[in-house]
Structure 1
C-alpha cells in the first residue's frame, strides 16, 4: 500500500470519522445483538471464522482477527457451553486444539448468515441500478486501498436459495464445454438433475451446498437420495470455479456431503464421474471413496471412461 506523500488535512480525518459513524449506524453494529441476534459483533465474527475455515485453532483466529487471546477464550468457552463448538487435540501440535462447529453451531451460523444476506439485500434494494453499481464499486475501492489481501477472501458454504439452480446449470454447461469440449446434452443432463432435486427435495435427507467467495458463487455440490437403495446417498454435480481452485474448496464441499450423510443415517455414498475429471477423482480418493466400476462409453461428444465410486460410512 502506498504511503501518503502530503500531510493529511483535518477535513480528511473528519470525513473518515463521519463515514465510520454513518456506516456503523446503517449496518447496526452498535446494537446490543448483531442483526437482532443474541451475538455481539465480535462473537458473530468469530462464528464466521469457525464456519469458513477448514481447520481452526484459537491462536490462528486471535492472530487474524487481532483479538486479545483471553477475550477470544471467553467467546469460545461460551460457544462450548451452549453446544455450538467442539474441540479435539491437534495431531501436529498437542498444545493446540482444532475447533469445529457442531451441527447446532452450523445452524446458528446459517441463520446469522441468512440474516446478514437479508439485511444487505434490503440495503441494496433502496438503490437504483446505477447507484447500486457505484455503491459496490466504492466498497471494492475502499477494500482494495486498505487491504492488499482482499482478493484472497475466504469462502463460505451455504444451502441453496432461489436462483442458485440456474447458476448450477449455466456454469456446468459453460465450464465443461470450455475445458473438456463436451456437447450441450451434458447441460441437459445437469438441468434434469437440478429439476428433479427441486421437485422432490427432502431437506432431512438431501442437501445442496453453494460456495461463495468475495460475494460471488464459486462452487456447488448436491447430496440426494438413491432412487433404489434406501441407505445410500448420491453425491452429484461437484463444481468449483476456475478462480477458486487450489483453495481446498472441492474437498470442503465433499466433506460437507459426508458429514450430512452420516447425520442423516445413510450407510453409503455413491457417485458417478469420468476418468478425465482428474482433480475431482483425486478429491474423492483422498476422502476415502473407492473406484468400484469402470465402463468405456461415448458421452457428450467424446470418448470417456464412466466410473462409479463408493464411500462406506
Structure 2
C-alpha cells in the first residue's frame, strides 16, 4: 500500500507539535520532579501493580539497564518499593502511599490538559481525535513489538436503534463508495432513505440492526431485513465500516452477530448484494458460508459497476 508523502509529513508535523505541547521536551513532566520515562514508569507500575523490572522495560520500550537505574531512583525517592514474589528470584514493583499520591496528581494534571484541549473542538472532532490517536498508537506499538493484534479497545457491538444512526450509516457509505466507486448524491440519498424506512420496522422480530461503537462513536453497522425479500429469506444490508476500523476484526464481529440472528430466526437463506472488487468483504462473506450466486452490470447508483449477489443457504432439516 502506497502512502501519500504529504499525509506522512502531516502526521510527523502533528506528532512533533504534540511532543512539544505536552511537555516532553522539558527535563520533567506532568508537574513532577521526574523525567518522562519516570512518569511513565509510575503509571505502568500503577496499572500492572506488581510488575517486574523486566516487564516494565518491555512496556516502556527501554533498555533493562536504563529501567534499573530509574527504578533505583524511584525507590530512593520513596515512590515505589520492591517486594519478593512467589519466585524468590523475581522482585515485583509496587507504589508506596507516597507513590499513589504522586500518580493521582499525574492523572489530574493529564486529565486537565486533555480536557482543556478538547474544549476547543466540537463533539464530532473530539471523537475523531480519540479514534485516530487510539488507532495510530496501536499501530506504532504493533510495529515495535512485531505483533498483529486486532484493535478493539473500548469497542462495543450493540443491537437496535440509537440516536444519529441513520445519518452516520449514510455518511460511512457515502465516504467509502465515493472514493471506491465514484458514487454521489443518488447513492447517499438512497442509503439514507432506506435506513430510515427500515428503522421504522425494527419493532418486527425478524428485523434487526447492529452497530459497532468506539468511544461512543458509530464505526460500523450491519442489518438483517427479514421482510423485504419474502419466502422466509433474510436480506443482509448496510454492512459498512469506518475506514479507521478496517482490518481490526470489527467487520467479522458484526457479520457474526447478523448470521447468528438469522440462525435463531430460522431463515431459509440470507441474501446480500455488493459490488465486484471489494475483496476483503468477499473473504468475510465466504468464510461465513456465503457463495456468489449472481453477477451483472448495473448503473442504478449513478455509476456503472458490476453488482454481485451472495447467498447463504440453510440445509433443510
SS at match of 1:156: strand
Matched, 1:14 2:48: no
Contact 2:201 2:207 (8 Å CA) reproduced: no
Max radius of gyration: which structure? Answer: 2
Q: Which residue of 2 aligns with 1:270?
A: 271
Q: Which residue of 1 aligns with 2:291?
A: 290
> Could you tell me which residue of structure 2 aligns to residue 249 of structure 1?
250
CA contact (8 A) 2:219 2:242 kept: yes
List alignment gaps of at least 5 residues for structure 2.
1-34, 39-69, 80-97, 108-114, 143-149
Contact (CA 8 Å) 2:234, 2:262: kept in 1 or not? yes
Stretch of structure 1 that moved more, 295-304 or 4-13: 4-13
Supply the distance in 2 between the matched residues of 1:241 and 1:132 (Cα, whole angstroms): 21
* Cα contact 2:187–2:302 (8 A) shared by 1: no
Deviation readout 1:14-54 (Å, 9 max, x if unpaired): 2535799xxxxxxxxxxxxxxxxxxxxxxxxxxxxxxxxxx
Aligned residues: 203
Determine helix, strand or coil for the equivalent of 1:3. Answer: helix
Q: Distance in 2 between matches of 1:131 and 1:301?
A: 39
Structure 1: state its 5+ residue gaps. Answer: 21-123
Distance, in Å, in 2 between the alignment partners of 1:254 and 1:130 is 36
- Corresponding position of 1:70: none
Instruction: Give the CA deviation at 1:157.
Output: 0.7
Q: 1:157-207, CA deviations, whole angstroms, 9 ceiling, x for partnerless residues?
A: 112312122110112112211232212111111112101112222352111
SS at match of 2:175: helix
Q: Partners of 1:206 and 1:219 in 2: how far apart?
A: 18
Query: Which residue pairs with 2:307 in the alignment?
Result: 306
3-state SS of paired residue (1:309): strand
Equivalent residue number for residue 104 of structure 1: none
1:208 Cα deviation from its structure 2 partner: 0.8
Residue 214 of structure 1 deviates from its aligned partner by 4.3
Alpha-carbon contact 2:291-2:311 (below 8 Å) kept:
yes
Distance in 2 (alpha carbons) for counterparts of 1:228 and 1:296: 21
Partner residue in 2 for 1:59: none
1:241 to 1:305, Cα distance in 2 relative to 1, 3 A: same
Partner of 2:157: 157
Provide the aligned C-alpha RMSD in A.
Answer: 3.9
Q: Post-superposition shift, 1:247?
A: 1.7
Deviations 1:254-312 (A, max 9, x none): 11111001112212111111113222222111211111122212243332111211111
- Normalized against structure 1, the TM-score is what? 0.54
- What is the correspondence of 1:38-49 to structure 2 with a 5 Å cutoff? none
Which position in structure 1 is the counterpart of 2:31?
Answer: none
CA contact (8 A) 1:276 1:304 kept: no
Q: Which residue of 1 aligns with 2:213?
A: 212
Alignment of 1:58-69 (within 5 A): none
- Residue 119 (structure 2) aligns with: 130
Residues 270, 310 of structure 1: 8 Å contact kept: yes
C-alpha deviation, 1:246, in angstroms: 1.1
Q: C-alpha distance in 2, partners of 1:130/1:242?
A: 25
Distance of aligned partners of 1:274 and 1:152 in 2 relative to their CA distance in 1, 3 Å threshold: closer
> 2:281 matched to which residue of 1?
280
Taking the aligned partners of 1:153 and 1:171, their CA distance within structure 2 comes to: 19
CA contact (8 A) 2:232 2:269 kept: yes
